[in-house]
Chain A
């Protein structure tokens, strides 16, 4: 059983399109994240949800909209895709947060490679 699963694994699309990436975790964790990894492998936090509540929203264009229908799912919708959105997007989860910081290990999905042409 995959602990954190993302779909699709690969996504190739044209500029201006709208696309979604889905993420599900079966670990019973409270906290989920979206990270963006660029071509130089830098990992940058985009969003974090704790029990379906948005707790971190970094300086990400508002074309990116996360949605958490329940604490096991965190989806990412991107409107009006741009060339600079090409990257690998990672979903992750962790057990909980204490005193405002994540505790314990982050479990990562396999990543969704988005290519915008």
Chain B
């Protein structure tokens, strides 16, 4: 497909794990990115993964990459209310191409 695809909404309870999924478009993308957008702010890079890796762990964040299926996921362990935001996956094509964003809501 031409678009980077993500589900639009995810709701979890505080302390649970969150998993946000993404399907990207170009199997030759060398890096894949996750950005976070808090209300009223611009996007900020959260984490990224090289295409030669299957997994990357960074504190509470785990990124999994399945190149065969062009599938990327972001797991947030012990989700906190401060994690409520919109999460975008992105791949560098002619421009940095963003998914539609997944709005994560964390309930106390």
Q: Which 3 A-B pairs have the closest CB atoms?
A: A108-B42, A45-B95, A101-B92
Looking at chain A's contact residues, the main secondary structure is strand
Complex CA gap A56/B93 in Å reads 11
Ordered by A's residue number, 27 sampled pairs between the chains whose C-beta atoms are within 8 Å are A4-B42, A33-B96, A41-B101, A42-B101, A43-B43, A43-B101, A45-B96, A48-B95, A56-B95, A90-B42, A92-B42, A100-B94, A102-B92, A102-B96, A103-B92, A105-B33, A105-B45, A106-B96, A108-B42, A108-B43, A108-B44, A109-B42, A110-B40, A110-B41, A110-B42, A111-B40, A111-B41
Q: Are A43 and B88 closer than 8 Å at their CB atoms?
A: yes
Q: Is B98 an interface residue (CB 8 A)?
A: yes
**Number of residue pairs A-B, CB distance < 8 angstroms:** 54
CB-nearest residue of chain B to A109: B42
Q: Is A94 an interface residue (CB 8 A)?
A: yes
- A60 CB to closest chain B CB, in angstroms? 13
Complex CA gap A108/B6 in Å reads 21
Complex CA gap A36/B95 in Å reads 13
CB-nearest residue of chain B to A41: B101
Complex CA gap A48/B41 in Å reads 21
Q: How many residues of B contact A (CB 8 A)?
A: 23
Q: Is B100 an interface residue (CB 8 A)?
A: yes
By a CB distance below 8 angstroms, the chain A residues around B45 are: 105-106
Complex CA gap A100/B72 in Å reads 23
Q: Is B86 an interface residue (CB 8 A)?
A: yes
CB-nearest residue of chain A to B42: A108
List A8-54 residues whose CB lies under 8 Å from chain B. 33, 35, 40-43, 45, 48
When each residue 91-108 of chain B gets 1 if its CB lies under 8 Å from chain A and 0 otherwise, what string results?
Answer: 011111110110100000
CB-nearest residue of chain A to B30: A101
Beyond A41-B101, A90-B43, A110-B40, 13 additional pairs, beta carbon < 8 A: A4-B42, A35-B98, A41-B100, A45-B96, A48-B95, A94-B96, A100-B94, A101-B93, A103-B92, A105-B48, A106-B96, A108-B44, A110-B42
